[in-house]
Structures are given as C-alpha cells and as structure tokens.
Amino acid sequence: MDKKIIKEEFKDYKEYTPKINFWEVEEYEQQFKERVFYDVQFNKEGEEGTSMKLYKGKSGVEATWSGTILLNEDNFIEWSFSLQNGVSINSKLTLNDENVELIPKLYTFYKIWKEEWSKMLTVPAKTEEEPMKASQIQESTLTLREQKQNRKMTIINNYSDRMRKLGGC
C-alpha cells in the first residue's frame, strides 16, 4: 500500500465525524412512540432536519436527542438524551397512574439508546505504546465505512433484544 494513501486514510480515521441518516432516526422515533408514549414531538436539531444530533467535540463524540411528550390538559414532559450528560427532563404534569409510569419508561429507553449509540460511535484510539500498522489502519478505515453502511442492519438485528429489555424481560 502506498504511504501517501495510508497517511490520508489515517487522517480520515483520526478526523472521523459521525453521521446519521433520516431512516435511522425515523426508526428510533417510531420505537419511542411504541415503547414510551405515542404523542411526542421530536426537536429537529440534527443534520437534514433529523431529531438526533451527532458531533465530535473536545470531550469526544457526542450524541443528543430531545423532544416533548404531549400529555392532556397542556401538561408535558420535555426530555433530552445525551451520551455524555445523561437524561434530563422538564415537566408540567398532573400525577396520575399513566403519567407516573412514563418516567421509568423514558429512563429505560434512554439506557438502551445510550448503550447502542455508545457502541456505534466508539472509535478505537491509537496509543503511543502501540503504533498502528498499515494493515490495522486499513482495517479501521474499512470498519468506519462498514459502520456507516451497516448501522441500519445493527438496529434491525438488535430490535428483538431492545424489545425484550423494554418489556422488562
């Protein structure tokens, strides 16, 4: 392999910026509606008007997702998921059996979302003690390409496991 190509591939590897497509976000939105609450408005702050935002900052790769669960009589729960900062809520609601059950459902969904996105966005780092060989750089670059192409398959393959976890089994 040409050294110039290796250097360019390694540069791409180091500067990897995560991407997400409309269909991946759409699937998570549908799962949220099925497992947490059906009447929800997702904040469209990501790329291409999606509700999920992925970016690489000084503290690493971050994923955020947020929206508002619309309850009866002008009650609501605004929620925000973040890989680095956890889940936060702001709400105006009347406590009743249905509303009390929403918070654990929301938190359970967050834990699954965080686990999946943490795995999908993890990029192995190069260490000083173990410099990467050309074959490892090529393999890592291919892994990133495959990750982009296979993210939807990963979501589909993990669907039954997520459903089992959300169902409390």
In which domain, by residue range, is 8 found?
3-166
pLDDT in tens, 28-60: 999 999 999 999 999 988 767 788 888 777 777
- Of 126 and 20, the one with more pLDDT: 20
Residues whose CB falls within 8 Å of the CB of residue 92, separated by 6 or more in sequence, listed in order: 74, 75, 76
Q: How many domains does the chain have?
A: 1
User: What pTM was estimated for this model as a whole?
Assistant: 0.62
Contact at 8 Å (CB) between 124 and 140? yes
Question: Band of the pLDDT at 68, cuts 50, 70, 90?
Answer: very high
Q: What percent of the chain has pLDDT over 70?
A: 60
The pair of three-digit structure tokens given for residue 139, joined into one six-digit string = 């393999």
Long-range contact set of residues 16-21: C-beta below 8 Å, sequence gap at least 24: 16/56, 16/123, 16/144, 17/55, 17/56, 18/54, 18/55, 18/56, 18/61, 18/63, 18/121, 19/47, 19/54, 19/148, 20/46, 20/47, 20/50, 20/52, 20/54, 20/151, 21/48, 21/50, 21/151, 21/152
Over 50: is that where the pLDDT of 144 sits? yes
**With 70 as the cut, is the pLDDT of residue 162 above it?**
no
Tell me if residue 78 falls in helix, strand or coil.
strand
**Higher per-residue confidence, 80 vs 15:** 80
Mean pLDDT confidence for 110-138: 65
pLDDT tens-digit profile of 75-110? 999 999 999 999 999 999 998 988 889 999 999 999
pLDDT band for position 15 (cuts 50, 70, 90):
low
